Amino acid sequence: MKAWLQQHLAALVRAARRLTDSPLSTLLSILVIGIAMALPAAGYLCLDNLKTLGANSSRAQQMSLFMNTGASEKTRSDVEKRLEATLPDQWRFVSRDAALRQMEANEGMAEIVASLPRNPLPDAFILEPDNADPEHLETLRATLSAWPGVAHVQLDSAWIKRFDAFLRLGRLAVHLLAVIFAVGLIAVTFNTIRLQVLGQAEEIEVARLIGATDAFIRRPFCYSGVLQGALGGLTAALLLLAGTLALAPPVSRLAALYGGTFAPHGPSFLHSLALVASGAALGWLGAQLSVRLIRDQ
């Protein structure tokens, strides 16, 4: 076991040495891998931020529950109790008088309101459910509509559905992009390792003649692929972090102009770790494909 670990450690050291022996080409390879990984990861990060933005937007999850105009005080009280049980602290009551006053306050509406023989507006509840999932909101709307005394429940579902469809499409595009760039990353690693294998042909031949197994010969190349992929993943995470830091102030200012507060978040530690790990895995895969050449030599 100790000898096995020592051989792996020695292979890792040899792989690192091979990378540092040609620093410029190693740096370029890592940069190419980093950029290839950063693009789909940036797309994912954008969608994640948009999702957060959508969830933060009150309009995205706001529903209006309108009572029948002739609903009694008791009916309204029943609805209040039910709402408190269903959506505790996620609703507020707007009386028909308050709604009329709000309407009256709007420019040009005062005369129209004054000309009305009576208040035509119903009592209403404004709901802001914590769970903004479109399917959940649709179910909630159907449930609330069936309550006694409720005339209509309005949900800006079209907007939410459009937003959700956009996010779904974006996610699909990001996944496709990730697959394309993953193939590209494997190709880059394959080519880099292939060149290393060709460059080390003499050493491979000598090692074979003095009793090296295929595994012994392949090991440093595989570690080389893993190191390049992992460093590429780290580069991608750093590029995303730098991009987020650069974009955060103007995005926040833009959000403030629309009366909101929003600061885009960069890659989390786990996200960065996933980038490094997937880079290492793809690098290993590219190296594995490339070292098949050794067997064919």
Partner 1 sequence: MIVGSQICKRYPGGLEALKNVSFEIAGGEMALVGGHSGAGKTTLLKLLSAIERPTSGSLIVNGQNLVALRPAALPFLRRNLGLVFQDQKLLFDRSALENVLLPLEIIGLAPRDAQRRARAALDKVGLLTREKTNPIALSGGEQQRLAIARAVVNRPTILLADEPTANLDEESARQVLDLFIAFNQVRVTVIIATHAPQNLFPGMAVRVLTLNHGTLTP
Piece in contact with partner 1 (CB under 8 A), picked from 63-71, 94-102, 131-139, 206-214: 206-214
Half-sphere exposure of 32 (CA within 13 A, CB side): 18
In 3D, which of 24, 41, 16, 292 has the Cα closest to residue 182? 41
Q: Which of 105, 112, 116, 206 binds partner 1 (CB under 8 A)?
A: 206
**Contact call for residue 159 and partner 1 (CB under 8 A):** no
User: Would you say 267 and 275 are in contact if contact means Cβ atoms under 8 Å apart?
Assistant: yes
Stretch in the footprint of partner 1 (CB under 8 A) among 143-151, 161-169, 197-205, 272-280: 197-205
Q: 91 or 221, CB closer to partner 1? A: 221
Does residue 293 contact residue 199 with C-beta atoms inside 8 Å? no
SS3 142: helix
Which C-beta is closer to partner 1: that of 107 or that of 202?
Answer: 202
Residue 185's closest CA among 274, 292, 280, 46?
A: 280
Verify binding: residue 139, partner 1, rule CB under 8 A.
no
CB under 8 A: which stretch of 113-121, 159-167, 207-215, 231-239 binds partner 1? 207-215
Is 34 within 8 Å of 236 (Cβ atoms)? yes
Q: Is 296 in the site for partner 1 (CB under 8 A)?
A: no
Q: Is 292 in the site for partner 1 (CB under 8 A)?
A: no
Confirm or reject binding of residue 6 to partner 1 (CB under 8 A).
Answer: yes
CB of 216 to partner 1, least distance (A): 6
Of 6-14, 65-73, 111-119, 270-278: span binding partner 1 (CB under 8 A)? 6-14
Please enumerate in sequence order all residues whose Cβ is within 8 A of that of 229, keeping only pairs 6 or more positions apart, or say none.
33, 185, 189, 279, 280, 281, 282, 283, 284, 286
Residue 212 engages partner 1 in binding (rule: CB under 8 A):
yes
User: With binding defined as CB under 8 A, does residue 161 bind partner 1?
Assistant: no
Q: Which residues contact 91 (CB under 8 A, 6 or more apart)?
A: 83, 84, 125, 126, 127, 128
Please give the residues from 8 up to 37 whose contact with partner 1 meets the rule CB under 8 A.
Answer: 10
- Total residues in contact with partner 1, by rule CB under 8 A: 18
List beta partners, residue 154: 64
Residue in this structure with the two tokens 């002739």, named with its chain if needed: 70
Binding partner 1 (rule: CB under 8 A), the pick from 80, 130, 135, 203 is 203
If one asks whether residue 1 binds partner 1 (CB under 8 A), the answer comes out as no
Residues in contact with partner 1 by the rule CB under 8 A = 2-4, 6-7, 10, 202-203, 205-213, 216
